[in-house]
Amino acid sequence: MDYFNYKSSKLFAEDVSIDSIAQQVGTPCYIYSKATMLEHLRKIQAAYAELDTTVCYSIKACGNTNILKILAQAGSGFDVVSGGELFRAAEAGADMKKIVYAGVGKTDVEIIAALKAGIGYFNIESEEELENIIRLAKQQNIKTKAALRVNPDVDPKTHKYITTGKKESKFGVDIERAQKVFADFADNGFVELCAIHLHLGSGGKTIDPYCEAIKKTLPLIETLRKQGHKIEMLDLGGGYGADYETGYAPSAADYAAGIVPLLKGKDLKLILEPGKSIIANAGIMLTKVLYRKQSGQKKFAIVDAGMNDLIRPCLYQAFHFIWPVSVEEKFSHIKRTEKLDINGLEFIDVVGPICEGSDFFAQDRAMPPVKGGDYLAIFTAGAYGFTMASNYNARPLAAEVLVDGGEFSVIRKRQSLEDMVALER
């Protein structure tokens, strides 16, 4: 669930009118609900309470340091994939022992920074990477822990760009190769290889692939332990679904109902790396209709946000529910889905101003009639929205706003044209 709801036909974030944010902050902008992100985090923490579990929020989903600070204060650790994300976590006051560091291309500078920060685990993606981390750990005289990322060859049946658990993936090593990696590197003296990391990809809609991956991996852990290797932790990665449509994804409790029984009594700590399941529904992108247009039979609403602000629809063919901020009462209690059949709706493309045919947010979408000057809310935009934004077409980055109860604050100022060129001078 989330805390974006209509009251008297006007959209609110918690107790703040979206109209009032639009008037004071302008558009496009991202608006986040503190109550929503905390509720989703706490539901995950509660669902896995039977196990020794650390939730490590995935910074790549949405990395504003003000949001990271809120999650850290609520007990979250962090999943990082770059030196920049490690820096963001430190800026937010994160517990470094609750940080896991993934990514296939860690540089020496990034690895040394993570070693000096005292992170919890490196997630190892290849033998050469492990050799390099061992070399740098010896050079710095710092001991650390690591989890080997294993591909269980499980397909979560999601978009090919965000499927990472297949054998042929660039990520991790295949499950058959894992034993050799442990045999070759476990006794190096500086990097304690003591955990297994799984990550199937993003966009999971069912719990079955996660359960299948665990069932494939537990025999490996048992074999490694029999060979004398200490395996203390299983990192199940992220990718857990979020409700882009109402009822689209399993809840945290649903996932846990399948996963927890498989791991009870296995003497394993558990790490989870959720990103969008915490932040996706906690954010919307607010945009304004600039013009209406008709070409043949096709209708367009041209808005002031573009694919540089939210690239998911054109990159992943992702669905985002879009609805006016102000609507007639009969349209204010709509189930968020792509398939609406209600009297009074029109079919329209919602497109941006960028010079690309792929610059769209919705095509042939059923919506209440809108006109120039109306505000639209693009829902479930908290994950991989602002964090993937760019300056394409020399467009300034949008503002970010945080709502907390009846108050809101700008947590990232809108980028100015001067800001855009400052580093070029």
Q: What is the mean pLDDT of residues 191-203?
A: 88
User: What distance in Å separates the CA atoms of residue 332 and residue 328, rounded to the nearest whole number?
Assistant: 7
**Over the stretch 201-222, which tens digit does the pLDDT of each residue have?**
765 678 999 999 999 999 999 9
Q: What is the mean pLDDT of residues 280-299?
A: 96
Q: What is the pLDDT of residue 170?
A: 52
Q: Which residues are catalytic?
A: 355
- pLDDT category at 231 given cuts 50, 70, 90 is very high
| Per-residue confidence (pLDDT) for residue 266, from 0 to 100 | 97
- State the average pLDDT for the chain: 93
Query: Given a cut of 60, is residue 160 above it in pLDDT?
Result: no
Q: What is the mean pLDDT of residues 285-297?
A: 96
User: In order of start, what are the domains of the chain with their CATH numbers?
Assistant: 4-32+280-424 (2.40.37.10), 34-277 (3.20.20.10)
pLDDT of residue 159: 40
Residue 134 has pLDDT above 70, yes or no: yes
Higher pLDDT, 152 or 393: 393
| pLDDT score, position 413 | 98
Bridge partners of 57?
78
**Mean pLDDT throughout 217-236?**
96
Question: Tell me, what's the pLDDT at 165?
Answer: 40
- Residue 119: CB atoms within 10 A of its CB come to 24
pLDDT in tens, 167-189: 455 567 888 889 999 999 999 99
pLDDT recorded at residue 342: 83
pLDDT band at 7 (very low <50, low <70, confident <90, very high): very high
Determine the pLDDT at residue 338. Answer: 74
- The pLDDT-based confidence of 59 (bands split at 50, 70, 90) is very high
pLDDT attached to residue 203: 59
Angstrom distance (rounded) from CA 413 to CA 241: 30
- Give pLDDT, residue 152: 86
The dihedral sign for the CA sequence 97, 50, 197, 40: negative
